[in-house]
Chains A and B, each alone.
Chain A
Amino acid sequence: MSDASLNIRDLARRWRPPPLIASPRLRWALGLGAALYFAAAIGTLEVNWLRIYEGLDRGWAFVIAFTEPDFVSRWTDIREGLIESLVMTVTSTVIGIVISVPIGLGAARNIAPLPVYLLCRGIIAVSRSLQEIIIAIFFVAIFGFGPLAGVLTLSFATIGFLSKLLAEDIEDIDKGQAEAVRATGARWLQFMNYGIQPQVMPRLIGLSLYRLDINFRESAVVGLVGAGGIGATLNTAFDRYEFDTAAAIIITIIGIVMIAEYASGLIRARVQ
């Protein structure tokens, strides 16, 4: 009797870490809801096991292909695709920056009047809510196949990204400096150039470099719908089950992204 009660007290006094969700009812409800959802989701997941079994060989072939990628046999296609991707990246980033700076200025509440602010925020919202690939489909339909459709797609996507972050940065600036410049009797352009620009420039450079990196990665995707770049080459390689060529392309993309990330890290460290 005494033994048993001692054990119970021991158990009751044992410390337990506090749970993430404090209310036990909410915790159980969320847990049960999640379990039911996952059961339903996995239940409706149609899996063709035979097809997967057949595909395992190909999957293995792809893994093997990474150990011996074939850069040589399709080198001309890979090189042309890569050059096109890089060219598209540079062009679209520059066009995107040139357009997004005025829109970013307009979307900053502290320096833009309300109608301009609403218009610019509207443009940003449209650009951010549509995926690149959908825009690319439309631009290919409108402007025809080729890198121009890709460049316009990436520029459009850049606007939403860069303008929004630039506008938020302008809204966060130190008012004292801006007012000091304005108090000297500076005109609007001088006010922008000496009051606002020096404060947001380091971040603008950082964001532009980051966007350059994103645009390169995305340029590999817009090619899937015919908007130019390495994506078309990659798609063809997969369609023909030439996994060693596909592996070579993917390794090249990863390599370029790594170099770009490293270089932009160095430049950002210098600027900031």
Chain B
Amino acid sequence: MPSTEVAGIKVWQRRTAGRQYAIWFGWLVGTALFLYCWKFVSDATTWFFVWDAPRIAGDIGGRMVPPRWAYMEKLWIPLWDTLNIATLGTALAIFMAVPVAFLAARNTTPSATLIRPIALLIIVSSRSINSLIWALLLVSIIGPGVLAGTIAIGLRSIGFMAKLLYEAIEEIDAKQVEAISATGASRWQVMAYGIVPQIMPAFAGITVFRWDINIRESTVLGLVGAGGIGLQLQASLNVLAWPQVTVILIVILATVVFSEWVSAKVRHAII
């Protein structure tokens, strides 16, 4: 146990001297890095605007109330679009994520040296790019609209779903698979009767979980022109119609809470 001698008496210490110095050095480097980064941010900031911020915030807050509830009637169709973007996007992602997951799982991949890294690369790429960036890309390729949003949500969800699914596949009980292959089942039969029933609950849970996240993400896709209620938000912000912005934000919050509630209920029913 590390200890130091103070006036001839051994005093308990949590760490050895060397380790303590290493930790102090780590803190020093970390603090220096943070201060350097803060200076960078500070230099790029117009501090005059920041000192003025409370007044501006109060001003915007004042303009946002009362909400213009009459605007609600123009939001039903965008809301329906938002729901469709999330749901169809999730459905699209399922079709692409399932094969990728089977190719990425160690126990089902046809080739661990060649195909598994490709599948993992697809997963990482899809996960590293935010759905807004996918939407930006698709809007510039196929034009603004709901379709671009749907495909963006689909592409973004592949990585998340495939990652969780392939981890579930790797955790299955190998005995059941062996039992099925011992009956002389073909590769596909082993998959259908040995693997799929074991991952079905996880698969349903992952799908609902991702659908919930997708609802949340699809509410803002309109900011880059990919359809849904975000389009209305962008339009209202552009004309500084703050009472409308309030209504839209309340609707977005309500949608997010609703989808979280649905997803929690469904996952509770499955598990």
Q: Using a CB–CB distance below 8 Å, which chain A residues touch chain B?
A: 17, 20, 37-38, 41-42, 44-48, 51-52, 55, 58-59, 62, 83-84, 87-88, 90-91, 94, 129-131, 133-134, 137-138, 141-144, 146-148, 151, 217-218, 220-221, 224-225, 228, 231, 234-235, 238-239, 241, 246, 250, 253-254, 257-258, 261
From B141, B193, B204, contact of A55 by CB (8 A): B141
Q: Could you tell me the distance in whole angstroms from the C-beta of A48 to the nearest C-beta in chain B?
A: 6
Q: Does B44 sit within 8 A of A, measured CB to CB?
A: yes
Q: Could you tell me the distance in whole angstroms from the C-beta of B90 to the nearest C-beta in chain A?
A: 11
User: A138 contacts which chain B residues (CB < 8 A)?
Assistant: 60
Q: How far is the CA of A130 from the CA of B255 in the complex (A)?
A: 12
Cross-chain contact B60 with A141 (CB below 8 angstroms): yes
Q: Does B101 sit within 8 A of A, measured CB to CB?
A: no
Count residues of B near A (Cβ-Cβ below 8 Å): 58
Cross-chain contact A257 with B41 (CB below 8 angstroms): no
Q: Does B146 sit within 8 A of A, measured CB to CB?
A: yes
Q: Does B87 sit within 8 A of A, measured CB to CB?
A: yes
Q: Could you tell me the distance in whole angstroms from the C-beta of B258 to the nearest C-beta in chain A?
A: 12
Listed A/B pairs (14) with beta-carbon separation below 8 Å: A45-B88, A45-B147, A46-B145, A58-B140, A90-B37, A129-B257, A133-B223, A146-B44, A147-B45, A220-B130, A221-B133, A235-B136, A238-B137, A254-B124
User: A83 contacts which chain B residues (CB < 8 A)?
Assistant: 40
Q: Using a CB–CB distance below 8 Å, which chain B residues touch chain A?
A: 33-34, 37-38, 40-42, 44-46, 49-50, 53, 56-57, 60, 80-81, 83-84, 87-88, 91, 124-125, 127-130, 132-133, 136-137, 140-143, 145-147, 150, 193, 197, 200, 204, 216-217, 219-220, 223-224, 233, 237, 249, 252-253, 256-257
